[in-house]
Structure 1
Amino acid sequence: MPMVISGRLGQRGRERLLNTTAYALLILAILIVFFPLAWMLSVSFRPNIEVMQMPPDWLPQIFTLDGYKKIFTTPRYLVVFLNTMVISLVVTLLSLVLGAMAAYALARFNFAGQRAVLMFLITTQMFPLVLLCIPYFRIFITFGLYDTRTSLVIVYLTFTLPFCILMLRSYFINIPRDIEEAAMVDGCSRLGAIFRTLVPISYPAFVGAGLYTFLLAWNEFLFAVVLIESWENRVLTMAIYSLMAEFVTDWNAMMAFSVLASLPLVVAFIFLQRYMVQGMTAGALTS
């Protein structure tokens, strides 16, 4: 009996040690992740002369809001915020609507070439996007869409739409067909049954896919640099990059811009992270 008790105590001690180690590693990871964020916030409130000071101080010696004032008093920077928001919302809406229709067809119907379509969608997620820069540039020049926000919407859809289709399909497969069939027996059309039964049940998948799509469109930089030239059509990532000059970099304004650009994403994750996890994990084991 004493040996059994000592064995249980030893097992509990090992479990506590493992839990303590796991929490310590998690805290360390959080500190590593938040270090650049904290430094970004600190730099946004200090003059440029303090940024290169050695050794660096976490708290600014001279507290200033010049970086934020520069952004809010410059009309072209405000236009950049509006452009990014409009493009991101349009891309998210189109990706969810078109992706939901395609995902429903792939989840509920069997047709010739279905597996080929799925393989094509998966392949698009593995394809290096940088290889598409020159083809897209030539295409939009030919069709007169160079330096337009429409070109960015089209390009962003090419890599957000396949993701939405795959994610929503995995979620739709887990929902029994009996729910839709019961709604159609009660007099609903197939489209009515989808909107009355399938869509309300699938809101975690829509939130997760929408948030991921919005994040991609909000943070995209490569195609924006290739396809946009004029300031009235630029997005946030281009505006932040423009503050980095060859000899002098406006660190104060750049970090203030980065803080303001991060706020919508942080707020969205705070309120929607639970739904995003549900949407991302649901159907993960479904073929």
Structure 2
Amino acid sequence: MTAAGTAAPDRAAAPDAGVDRAPLARRRRNRMLVQVACLAITAFMAAPMYLITLAAFSTRESLNAFPKSFAPADVSTETLRSFLGATGVVPSFLNSLVVGLLTLVLSVAIGTPAGYALARHVFAGRDAYQLFLLFTRALPIVVLSVPLARFFITAGLSDTVLAVALLHTALALPTTVLITASIFTAVPRDLEEAALVFGCTRASAFRQVVAPLALPGIAAASLFTFVLSWNEVLGAAVLTLTNRTLPAQVLGSLQWSPLPYRFAGGFALLVPALIFIFVMRRYLLNMWGTTLR
């Protein structure tokens, strides 16, 4: 009786003793390394933002002090108020907002149908077309800006926000088309065909079935487009003189502007992009396909 009673626990414990714990430990180690890498990337990106914000809300005495403190000591809006009160800053801020939104609308309106065509239709030269789209991003912005400036002067669009928006649209379209094409490829074709069977037209099937499923990809393309347009400076500086965007306005005044003005300009360029990212983040998907809340 005793031998049988002791043999049963030994047999029950035998499977646990034979389990290889190396894969479990490896997965835990890989998960920890991924978390460390994410924290390092976050710190690398957040550190400049924090320093710019700290300098923008510091007094001039704090900026000139040495050694500098990494904690907010004398919080002041004097630097930011002087920057916003400078000549041309508020109009250039509005110009940047108009150019960014117009670029976003044009890129999505043109790039989304093009991405859908690449994903749903097979035609001769499709791969070459996608490669050609990538080649357009290889051209330096100055190479595009100079001939475009001559073209806009001839067309009567010189020194206008529309000219800058058209340039930014040309820069953002390749990425918009490729991102939306990859998203439309991931949307099952069976769902669209089922909508057609139940009486939807091609346009209504796209609007009611395909577009909602592809919304995260369209949001990602929109996010990239707005941030690219908001931060682009060389093309805007070449194409405009009086109707400049905020980056071009800041760049044109950096040579003679004091140090507090530069920090305030960096903060003014940073905030709208962060607000737009915060608004659009709920429409993005992470790599597991769940919506970010």
Specify if TM > 0.5.
Answer: yes
How far does residue 14 in structure 1 lie from its aligned partner after superposition? 7.1
Equivalent of residue 164 in structure 1, options 154, 173, 176: 176
> CA separation in 2, counterparts of 1:253 and 1:209?
32
Instruction: Please say if 1:238 is aligned against 2:229.
Output: no
> CA separation in 1, counterparts of 2:33 and 2:233?
38
Correspondence for 2:267: 259
Which has the higher mean CA deviation after the structures are superposed, 206-215 or 186-195? Answer: 186-195
Report 1:33-112 matches (<5 A).
33-59=45-71, 62-74=74-86, 76-112=88-124
Alpha carbons of structure 1 residues 112 and 44: separation in structure 2 relative to 1, 3 Å? same
How far does residue 176 in structure 1 lie from its aligned partner after superposition? 2.3
> CA separation in 2, counterparts of 1:272 and 1:62?
34
How far does residue 221 in structure 1 lie from its aligned partner after superposition? 0.6
Over the residues paired in the alignment, what is the CA RMSD in angstroms?
3.1
Contact 1:83 1:235 in 2 (8 A): yes
Contact 2:137 2:171 in 1 (8 A): yes
Equivalent of residue 270 in structure 1, options 264, 271, 278: 278
How far does residue 61 in structure 1 lie from its aligned partner after superposition? 5.5
> CA separation in 2, counterparts of 1:161 and 1:21?
36
Higher CA-based Rg: 2
Alpha carbons of structure 1 residues 144 and 63: separation in structure 2 relative to 1, 3 Å? same
Report 1:1-287 matches (<5 A).
23-24=35-36, 26-59=38-71, 62-74=74-86, 76-230=88-242, 233-246=243-256, 249-273=257-281, 275-278=283-286
How far does residue 55 in structure 1 lie from its aligned partner after superposition? 2.1
Note the alpha carbon deviations across 1:19-78, whole angstroms, 9 max, x for none: 656545544443333222222112112233542433223346543211222244457322
> CA separation in 2, counterparts of 1:148 and 1:14?
58
Q: Structure 2 stretches of 5 or more lacking a match?
A: 1-12
Alpha carbons of structure 1 residues 149 and 272: separation in structure 2 relative to 1, 3 Å? closer
Q: SS at 1:202's partner residue?
A: helix
Alpha carbons of structure 1 residues 162 and 46: separation in structure 2 relative to 1, 3 Å? same
Contact 2:115 2:180 in 1 (8 A): yes
Alpha carbons of structure 1 residues 222 and 276: separation in structure 2 relative to 1, 3 Å? farther
> CA separation in 2, counterparts of 1:40 and 1:140?
36
Contact 2:234 2:248 in 1 (8 A): no
Alpha carbons of structure 1 residues 44 and 195: separation in structure 2 relative to 1, 3 Å? same
Contact 1:209 1:276 in 2 (8 A): no
Correspondence for 2:5: none
Amino acid of the structure 2 residue aligned with 1:172: F
Relative to the length of structure 2, the TM-score reads 0.80
Sequence identity (%): 28
Correspondence for 1:285: none
Amino acid of the structure 2 residue aligned with 1:255: F
Q: SS at 1:126's partner residue?
A: coil
> CA separation in 1, counterparts of 2:226 and 2:93?
14
Contact 1:172 1:202 in 2 (8 A): yes
Alpha carbons of structure 1 residues 208 and 11: separation in structure 2 relative to 1, 3 Å? closer
Which has the higher mean CA deviation after the structures are superposed, 208-217 or 109-118? Answer: 109-118
> CA separation in 2, counterparts of 1:79 and 1:188?
47
